[in-house]
Chains A and B, each alone.
Chain A
Amino acid sequence: MTLWSIIIIASVGCLALKLSGYLVPPSFMEKPRPSRVANLLTVALLAALVATQTLASGEEIVLDARVPAIGLAAVLFALRVPFVIVIVAAAATAALLRAFVGG
């Protein structure tokens, strides 16, 4: 599987999902269950990605400079600091810790 085929397959899949929503009969909309599962699916996937992106190194769990960086990001998001500034702050924190402390 090449990088390009991964990009095209995933993009077409996401677009097909959006279009499929316009084909569903309105009666389906009266059921709360599908939308609840979809909303929670988004939450679960994003939370799992936060965890693996912060803690995983290949197939190992490692506590390194990413942990304080994501802690800082959480504080900044709670203070309603804009998205881009938080991202840069998190990256800079991890980079500086690695440069001066190691790990």
Chain B
Amino acid sequence: MAIRQAVSVALAVSTYGVSFGALGVASGLDIWQTCVLSLLMFSGGSQFALIGVLASGGVAAGPAAITGAILLGTRNAIYAMRMGPIIGPGLWKRTAAGHLTIDESTAVSTAQHTLRGQRRGFWWTGVLIFVGWNLTTLIGAFIGDALGDVSRYGLDAAAAAAFLGLLWPRLKQLQPVVVAVAAAVVAAVLTPVLPAGLPVLVAALVAVVVGLTNWLGAREKHSLAEEVSADTSAVQEEHS
């Protein structure tokens, strides 16, 4: 059960890697820089954010690109807290698990009903996506490199669509929809005023304010476990 879900989720997610590889090269990175991102960063949202900001602001937008990528990675820290008790003790095991802690491995794991199933779900999904994502990134990077300037004509629209695709499964309740619309408006309004990359970071404050006050929120959840499963079930549903 866990393994079958892991395989189907991994196949779906790995295809995104082609888009990332092609967009990475088209945004100014070379093939190896694009591949190092998939190997080391290994978190789709953060990777797309980094190349998106670099594509519009260049190396000068480096600090904003780094901050955006890291802020998008904060949810992985929350997933890691959830996975800690499931993974169990052991420095090397926890380090390896840390690298593989992403939306999908957490989603498949938390959907299982036994501890054994949760462990298998996590490791199978994490390892399969790691292999698939890096292979398809390499393929996509070569495609982007071969297309050369041709790939630039629709690149900006493709990057915008990629962000929309990552956002889409998260818009199932009123609170995230309101946050998304408000953040988009804030970022657009601030674009003529602030240097490239910064409007996106200021827009993130919308999430902090709404999140701390729980404005428009559903009933107070009892534990993080419920929060994570609510959040990740959307991701999993999207891939199943």
Residues of A within 8 A of B (CB): 1-15, 17-22, 24, 26, 28-56, 58-61, 65-66, 69-70, 73-74, 77, 82-84, 86-95, 98-99
B186 in contact (CB, < 8 A): yes
Report yes or no: A48 in contact with B204, Cβ–Cβ below 8 A.
yes
In the complex where A6-B66, A45-B203 touch, is A94 in contact with B154 (Cβ < 8 A)? yes
In the complex where A17-B74, A18-B98, A40-B207 touch, is A93 in contact with B154 (Cβ < 8 A)? yes
Partner of B157, one of A4, A10, A44, A69: A69
Name the distance in Å between A40's Cβ and chain B's nearest Cβ: 4
B107 in contact (CB, < 8 A): no
Name the distance in Å between A62's Cβ and chain B's nearest Cβ: 10
B95 in contact (CB, < 8 A): yes
Give the complex CA separation of A54 and B154 in angstroms: 11
Report yes or no: A48 in contact with B186, Cβ–Cβ below 8 A.
yes
Could you say which residues of chain B place their CB within 8 Å of the CB of A33?
Answer: 211-212, 214
Name the distance in Å between A53's Cβ and chain B's nearest Cβ: 4
The interface-forming segment of B1-9, B35-43, B110-118 is: B35-43
Could you say which residues of chain B place their CB within 8 Å of the CB of A41?
Answer: 71-72, 74-75, 204, 207-208, 211
Please name the residue on chain B nearest to A4 by beta carbon.
B33
B174 in contact (CB, < 8 A): no
Partner of A50, one of B16, B41, B163, B194: B163
Give the complex CA separation of A44 and B200 in angstroms: 8
In the complex where A13-B70, A21-B98 touch, is A47 in contact with B183 (Cβ < 8 A)? yes
Q: List 12 A-B contacts (CB under 8 A).
A: A10-B65, A14-B76, A18-B77, A18-B98, A21-B78, A21-B79, A28-B81, A46-B45, A47-B167, A49-B49, A59-B191, A87-B162
Report yes or no: B184 in contact with A48, Cβ–Cβ below 8 A.
yes
Give the complex CA separation of A47 and B97 in angstroms: 29
Give the complex CA separation of A59 and B61 in angstroms: 12
In the complex where A41-B211, A43-B179, A50-B167 touch, is A70 in contact with B99 (Cβ < 8 A)? no
